Structure 1
Amino acid sequence: MAEKIKVGLLGYGYASKTFHAPLIMGTPGLELAGVSSSDASKVHADWPSMTVVADPQALLMTL
């Protein structure tokens, strides 16, 4: 199987929570590798094991 493409989200507002994250997680070949958010608890409420960083540049290091 081909290696998955790692994707990171900048911010975790309404659009990311409702559309972007579920779409990425449900698309074969994509992996949601991390989220940059100032509120990690919002991300972890939906995705408990997700990597969350406050600094968007730090997110690039997880990809």
Structure 2
Amino acid sequence: MKIAVIETFREAGISRSELAHHMGKDEKEARRVLDPDVSTKLPLLVSALAAMGKRLVIGIEPA
């Protein structure tokens, strides 16, 4: 999930400060969201995706 957020951020072509602004967080928080070595709770990752115009979709399929 975190890798998807990082890839979306790269594709969006915005700065960390822009992401933080759209999330309503400070830049330090955005930096942690984009750091693959820092664990981040799902709601914050969902918020980051929403700030970039994306949404998380989870589904269940037959095995």
TM-score (norm 2): 0.31
Structure number with greater Rg is 2
Higher strand share: 1
- Higher percent of residues as helix: 2
